[in-house]
Structure 1
Amino acid sequence: MKLYYSPGACSLSPHIALREAGLAFEPVLASTKSHKLQDGTDYYGINPLGYVPMLELDDGTRLREGPAIVQYIADLAPNKNLAPASGTLSRYRLQEWLTFIGTEMHKTYSPMFNPNMPEEAKAIFRTKLQSRYEWLNGELEGKDYLMGEHFTVADGYLFTVTNWTKPTGVDISPYANVQAWHARIGARPAVQEAMKTEGLLK
């Protein structure tokens, strides 16, 4: 398998999932700025949408969209408990989390990386994100992970977008449960390995 990624982008989420699952894969750097691979290949020729992540299977099949990719990865390694079994209510709870993170968190961060976005608009997005983190803080009360006692691919996804608090100026200092959870995820060996591969840690 190949994972097309850009350092620190949302592709860090499936990168973490692959490391947690212990699956063999080749990370392929695909710049979201130049839209070229390191050998000069035009990434649009691989993914016409131009963004990451994209997972290419050994038979050449390509899968886009992070929440779909991480569930696929989790199902390849069911013994790792990265996602509850398909068809269970717990699996739908996981999908609920992935949808929340994708639509309420990820897509609220995205405009703040646009250099043409006015500062007044960015302030609105920051306020919305802080209200979401306030809610998350309550949800994490007494829990190690989003789903309870076990790390799932939802934790990897939320960790990835929460890493964007510093570059976007989102203040999560009031939310002790969120901060403790973020530190807990960041200390996991698979997360450390993924971040080191992407050059995010020395």
Structure 2
Amino acid sequence: MTAPAFSDDFRKDLERLFTWRRDARHFQRDPLPASVLNDLLHASTLAPSVGLSEPWRFVLVENPERKAAVRKSFETCNQEALQGYEGEQAASYATLKLAGLDDAPHHVAVFCETFPDQGHGLGRATMPETTTWSAVMAIHTFWLAATAAGVGLGWVSILEPEHVSDLLDAEPGWNLIAYLCIGYPAAHAKTPELERMGWETRNPDRREWIKR
């Protein structure tokens, strides 16, 4: 089998895709066509996984009561996080919009089955956390596919994982990795919102390579 050849134009588009992949927190409320969401979920399953374990478990959260309960968990955790800042930093934190839970038409919880039978444990003996990393790779694949389709994705991490797992009747052995807000973004931007809001800036040292 001959590997596909990717053109210079494709590689430039790929770099633009990386640049425009942003964490969305402002959404239009119109739902995605079912085919679009299904295609994005399918694309996520093309991600690499340790030992071909495919440990990711995607849960579409559609019940309004469950969505509201997740929203309450976010509010509680966000308020607790605010108490960890003081002065100007606290005031700045309070202005940040850290989730699109109210407007995003689709919510997807991503779990990792930490010790799946699939894969027979290959590659996990000394680094069992590789199943978690594999689930993160699936999220990243989903994110890139969404960006390419003009769809926004926001990763909500200010939650109580065990509580959300209970709310969603997660199977034993499933660990919550991400709660994703998905929909068409209200606006597009090349730079992270946290940078535009003055919360943080990129560190040029992180673009250097360390040699040993």
Q: TM-score, normalised by structure 2?
A: 0.26
Compare relative contact order (CA 8 Å, sep 6+) and give the higher one, 1 or 2: 2
TM-score (norm 1): 0.26
Larger Rg over CA atoms = 2
